[in-house]
Amino acid sequence: MTIHKEGYTIIAWSTILFGLFNLLSFYFLSFYSPWLSWIIFFATAALLVFVISFFRVPHRQLTISEQAIVAPADGKVVAIEEVAADEYFSDRRIQVSIFMSPLNVHVNRNPVTGEVVYSEYHKGKYLVAWHPKSSTDNERHTVVYKKGDKELLTKQIAGALARRIINYLKPGMEVKQTDEMGFIRFGSRVDLLLPLDAKIKIKIGDQPKGGVTVIAEW
C-alpha cells in the first residue's frame, strides 16, 4: 500500500496538529485529569489514522481488457438505469452510479483505453451523493473517452462532504485503462454513461473495486 500524492499536505498538517493537541493536553491536563488526556489522545489518533487511510492506494492486480469497461472507483453500485443524457450526448444511455463512502479508496481510474475527447468541470451544489439530482446539480467533472467508434462518459460528482474534485485529464490526451483519472476528497459518487448495447456485468448493491471489477463489456 502507498499514500496518494493528494494526501501529502493534509497528512502532514494532520500529524502536526495531532502532536500539538496532545503536547498541550499532556502538559495542561495530564496531572489533573489524566483520563481526559488519554481520551483526547485516542480520539485524535483515530482521526489521524482515518485521514491517512483515506489517501491509501492499495496494491492490486488491475484488469486490462479491450472488451472490458472497468470500475473507475471503489464503492457501492446504487443505480443502473436507462437515462436521457444531459451533457455531451443527446441520446439515451445506460447510467451506472457508484457511491463512494469516506471509508472507500478514493483514487479514480480510467475505465477504458482511448482518447479523451471532452473534459469539463462544473460548479454546483453539495447534495448528498445518493440524491437523484446530485448527478446534474452537484459540483462535478465530466470526461468522455473515445475508443474506435464508441464513446463513454464518466462523471466525478461531489457529495455533501466532498469539497474538492481533482481531475488530471485534458482533451486530446491518449490514456490507458486503469491509469489514474483523478481523486475526490471525502465521500462522493462516480457515474458512467454507457452505450445501450453495453453488456452490464454488475447489479445494484455490488461493491466494485476501482481498476479491477468489470462493470460492462462492449
CA distance 118 to 58: 29
- b (16+ CB within 10 A) / e for 78-113: ebbeeeeeebeeeeebbbbbbbbeeebbbbbbbbbb
CA distance 114 to 69: 11
Is residue 97 flagged as an active site residue? no
CA distance 202 to 186: 25
CA distance 45 to 50: 9
Instruction: Tell me whether residue 69 is exposed, middle or buried, using C-beta atoms within 10 angstroms of its C-beta: 0 to 12, 13 to 18, 19 or more.
Output: buried
DSSP 55-109: TEE--------SSEEE-SS-SEEEEEEEEE--SS--SEEEEEEEEE-TTS--EEE
Q: Residue 110 in 3-state DSSP? A: coil
Q: Which residue has cell 453495453?
A: 198
Instruction: Tell me whether residue 163 is exposed, middle or buried, using C-beta atoms within 10 angstroms of its C-beta: 0 to 12, 13 to 18, 19 or more.
Output: middle
Query: Which cell goes with 54?
Result: 483515506
Which residues are known catalytic residues?
188
